[in-house]
Amino acid sequence: MRVLVVTAVPAERDAAVRGVVSAPETATGAEAEAAETAEARVSVPGGRTLRRVVRPPLTVDALDAGVGPAAAAAATASALTAAELGHAPYGLVVSAGIGGGFAPAPLGSVVVGEPIVAADLGAETPDGFAAVTELGFGTVEHLPPPALVRAVAEATGAVRGAVLTVSTATGSAERAAELRRRHPGAAAEAMEGFGVAEAAAAHGVPVLELRAISNAVGPRDRAGWRIGEALDALAGAFRHLPPALATWKGPSR
């Protein structure tokens, strides 16, 4: 299987690659005999370079797309299109990185998105926020394959819950409470997942979101952030991703 991993920044991309490289062997038979991890850097449209890790039967391409849903969607769509034109399409897209956590996701834990939600895509009205779907347009959530979510959660020990995509990171207790009120199942907040999911859906490719929690969603307190711990947790999750994918009865392409 070929997997496209999309992060916002290089540090997240490199953590994902570090995890994949350290993953236990999943190849069997002749594949196992020939299995040898190979790494390369590959240019993709838009002037970006992805990191490729080949560990038969898995090929993982990790791309840092930039911050926010628009940048994530554009870079993901470009990479998916290039792969299809090259007759080597992806079987899965993973939006990954660090993010803010809602209880019960503590600092240093990992969340797998179920679903991936555009939390602030809509309009303010006299009665409060109205999601874009209430206005009669588009969608505000994508559902990863349930069997894949279960397999990844079991393999990584991740919390299962909604991952909210926002264009402005939450910085107050009031906004955190409002998001939680509108999305009672929220476990994490980040800024790229929905954009990645939109591009994946347009190409008919399943999507997954993995977030390692670096801070609590609420008042902005940089002294309380645990970015290094979260990046280590992200690498740990990706170490368990290949075995989880080996048990997932997903697309064969």
pLDDT at 32 over 90: no
pLDDT at 23 over 60: yes
The band of 24, judged by pLDDT with boundaries at 50, 70 and 90, is: confident
pLDDT at 46 over 90: no
Q: Which of 191, 139, 133, 142 lies closest to 162, judged by CA?
A: 142
Instruction: List, for residues 53-87, the tens digit of each pLDDT value.
Output: 999 889 999 999 999 999 999 999 999 999 999 99
User: How far apart are the C-alpha atoms of 182 and 178, rounded to whole Å?
Assistant: 6
DSSP class of residue 45?
A: T
User: How far apart are the C-alpha atoms of 42 and 22, rounded to whole Å?
Assistant: 21
pLDDT at 35 over 70: no
Percent of the chain whose pLDDT exceeds 70: 94
Kindly state the average pLDDT of the residues 151-160.
95
pTM for this model (two decimals): 0.93
Q: What is the pLDDT of residue 31?
A: 54
Tell me what the pLDDT averaged over the chain comes to. Answer: 93
pLDDT at 249 over 80: no
Q: What is the pLDDT of residue 27?
A: 58
Report the range of poorest mean pLDDT among 57-61, 122-126, 248-252: 248-252
227-247 vs 10-21: helix axis angle to the nearest 10? 50
User: How far apart are the C-alpha atoms of 155 and 48, rounded to whole Å?
Assistant: 31
User: How far apart are the C-alpha atoms of 204 and 132, rounded to whole Å?
Assistant: 22
